[in-house]
Amino acid sequence: MKINILPVIIFLLAGIFSVNAQNAIDKKVDALLSQMTLDEKIGQMTQVDYDAIKKNVDDIVKYYLGSILCGGNSEPDDITAKGWANLYDSFQNLALTTRLKIPIIWGIDAVHGHNNVDGATIFPHNVGLGATHNPKLVEQVAAVTAAEIKGTGMQWDFAPCVAVARDERWGRTYESYGENPDLVKMLGAAYVKGMQGKNLSDKTSVLACVKHFAGDGGTTNGKDQGNTEIDEETLRKIHLQGYVEAIKAGAKSIMVSYSSWNNEKLHEHKYLLTDVLKRELGFKGFLVSDWAAIDQLGKDYKSDIEKSINAGLDMIMIPNGYGQNNNYVDFITKLKELVNENKVPLSRIDDAARRILKVKFELGLFKNPMTDKQLTTQIGSKKHREIARDAVRQSLVLLKNDNKVLPLSKNLKRIHVTGKSADDIGNQCGGWTISWQSKSGNVISGGTTILQAIKNTVSKNTEVTTSTDGSGAEGADVCIVVVGETPYAEMIGDREDLSLAKEDAEAIEKAKTSGVPVVVILISGRPMLIEPSLKISDSFVAAWLPGTEGQGVADVLFGDFKPVGKLPHSWPKNMQQIPINIGDTNYDPLFPYGFGLTY
């Protein structure tokens, strides 16, 4: 038997080249670190929000700042791709005037596409991607997102979120892929691979930031920034799996959670951050805090700094500016004092700076720190939107289809489309779209609403009529009612009642009285209480938060693509059942985890 040893040789050579490349980077990091003062090392550990520094941009040079971020509502006046790229380049040019010319790394919450940029491609939120159960698709979504981020010069995405959402009352449920840790770890790892590419230094590769470590999806009563009250075995079995797989996939940054584990804040949890994450799991990248999160550790900011850095935090996210407590100058000053007082070991500072610098070298930031303007022109491109459209198609879950109302014919005489979300791109996209909480309406340029997608799909002889309240369907061949949640994000999204809004339930009821078949499309970031509306509808589709490409919804409605989505969450009958998750005793949901019909 003849054996082809060429693949083995290629594999071995690749391993040798990889080791040699890492050794070369390690030598560069050590050489640079040996030249750095304490001030320069602490500067690398300091991440400042754009709003906090935009009036004092020379502080980038003065304090040797290592990182800038733009929080959910922090943005330039010009939020086009060109405007963002110009902002980034101006800040990077400043950083390169420092003594050692260390480039900044710029982070942003691009959690479903490059969502702070007007005209960007907006994908389904993670709950929708979870419904696809398709890691190859998620890898594609991440790769496109990375390319669009790089088109604005930035190199660091605060994603993926690998929280395992165990209680739909949690306002961040849509940022989770689902309730099952197996699903979350599969898709989280896929996202890291897509975001970071084969090599971090590749033209379109971006540093992933896996979040929020750890257990944020398991807080009691689904309270955001709350307390996860479980034993360590359960924490490891459910909430650590996503991090284990993400690290194997090459993740080099992790964001720590606001939440607590059994009443101890994660930002001061040395056992989990250092003993488990860095030592046991072998995480070689760096840890970043969440937005002003160390401020929650106590009333004394200097003590907060001491506890968080000694616990294992490498970079601290600081949103506040001058004239406010706990601003970045205060952080830098107090951390330096702590080192001089031997309360924070210099070895801990060196370790943090080394981890950050190594990632910067791996990203190729020292060689290519500026925006690639060729990538800027590709943001929101047709090619990117086609991938988003496919993600929408695969994310839809068909919950009911009595009398085989779906798929619809494109040659019907009249289709009536109603409901408050039928022609609302803001509702389709949900939170984290241009602004943190986002809003209804035309929040972003580009994209297609579900109403427009229907009009694009039907024959030229089909009349499409509309309303917002369910009225006007009499005499139509079918009535499509698009209802659901309006945009929200963390904290504001926490709910005690997941019932449909009164106006949504009434729109469905009114459509039913017209005597025509009723198809309901639910726009939401989580399962909702739908049983009364489900009973009176002929077909019911969970569309999650599909993003800008509503054409993907029409593709499924009219049979160009068969439904393939499966529930990433158990669907509750009532609030008394929540939390409900697969594997529970007395498991009796309205629809079980993994449910989904097709044609």
Pairing of strands 539-544, 397-401: antiparallel
Nearest to 394 by CA among 594, 131, 182: 131
> What's the CA gap between 529 and 502, in Å, rounded?
12
**Residue 303: both structure tokens together:** 């003590």
DSSP state of 237: I
Q: Is 178 left (phi over 0), alpha (psi -120 to 50) or beta?
A: left
DSSP state of 36: -
DSSP calls for 401-433: EGGG-PSPPTT-SEEEEESTTTT-HHHHH-SSB
Q: Which residues contact 492 (CB under 8 A, 6 or more apart)?
A: 171, 437
Phi, psi of 87 (to 5 degrees): -60, -50
Within 158-300, residue ranges assigned H as helices are 181-196, 232-234, 241-248, 270
DSSP state of 208: E
Question: In the chain, what's the furthest Cα-to-Cα distance?
Answer: 80
Within 346-480, residue ranges assigned H as helices are 346-362, 373-376, 382-395, 425-429, 450-457
Query: In a 3-state reduction of DSSP, which class is residue 213?
Result: strand
Are the beta carbons of 114 and 148 closer than 8 angstroms? yes
Active centre residues (catalytic): 290
Nearest to 549 by CA among 412, 407, 382: 382
> What's the CA gap between 45 and 65, in Å, rounded?
8
> What's the CA gap between 592 and 580, in Å, rounded?
10
> What's the CA gap between 389 and 547, in Å, rounded?
9
Return the bridge partners of 519, or none. Answer: 480, 539
**Which amino acid would we find at residue 138?**
V
First to last CA, the chain: 48
User: H-helix or E-strand containing 135?
Assistant: helix 135-150
Quote the crossing angle between the two packed helices 6-35 and 346-362, to the nearest 10°. Answer: 130
